[in-house]
Amino acid sequence: MKRKYLFSILLPLIALFSLCASNQKVKAATFKNYDQFYAYDSVTTIDGTWGANLFINNDSNKQFDKILPKDSQWQIYGYTKRKDGFYYWAGGDQWIQANQARVPVGNESDAVLNVVAKFGEDDNPKTYWIPVHIFPEAKNGYRGGYWGTDYWWVRDAGPEFGSYRDSYIIYPDGNTTKLKIGDPTVG
C-alpha cells in the first residue's frame, strides 16, 4: 500500500519536473561540420555595411566576384561552413558571405543559423544553443516587451548546465543583435 501511495505521489512530480526542466536545445554540432553542404531553401537579405561579398567557388580556391548591394534579396539553396565562416549558396557556383546577410526566421534552427553565420561559434562540442520564441500568445514576453512582441531569444549555454556565455535577439526578418552580459534586459 505504501508503495502505491509513494508511486502515486512521485510519478506526477517526476512528470512535472521533466516537463519544466525540458528546454528547446539545438546542439551546436548541427551547425559545426566543416565543408559539408546543407540544403536550405530561403531568401537572404544583404545587410552588410556596404553589401555582401559574392564568391565564385566555395573552397580554398574561391574567387571574389562582386559586392551585392545592401538591402537586396537573393534566393539561396543551401549553406556550408568553412574555416573562415558560413556561406549561402545562390545557385550555380555563386556563394554569398553569410555574415553579411540574414535569413528569415521560421523556427529555432533558422534563429541559430542567423547567430552562428553572423557571429561565429566556439567549436566546443559541449555547447548548446537554447532558442526561445517570444510572442504574445505564448505569454512568455520576457523583459516586459523591451525587445518587442515577436522575436527569438537565443543563448549560447556553454558546457556548464544553467550558465550561458552569450545571448542574442533575433527578429522574424533575421535581424540579429548580440546582447551584453550584465545588461538588465538580459535574463
Distances from the Cα of 170 to the Cα of 23, 109, 122, 174, 186, angstroms: 18, 12, 19, 6, 14
In whole angstroms, give the CA distance from residue 40 to residue 114. Answer: 13
Indicate the CATH number for domain 33-102: 2.30.30
In whole angstroms, give the CA distance from residue 66 to residue 96. Answer: 10
Pick from 94, 89, 79, 101: nearest CA to 34 = 79
Pick from 33, 17, 30, 27: nearest CA to 157 = 27
User: Confidence class of residue 29 from pLDDT cuts 50, 70 and 90?
Assistant: very low
Domain locations along the chain? 33-102
pLDDT beyond 60 at 10:
no
User: Confidence class of residue 112 from pLDDT cuts 50, 70 and 90?
Assistant: very high
Task: Calculate what percentage of the chain has a pLDDT beyond 70.
Answer: 68
In whole angstroms, give the CA distance from residue 123 to residue 128. Answer: 11
pLDDT at 157: 75
Three cell numbers written together for 157: 549555454
0.85 exceeded by the pTM?
Answer: no
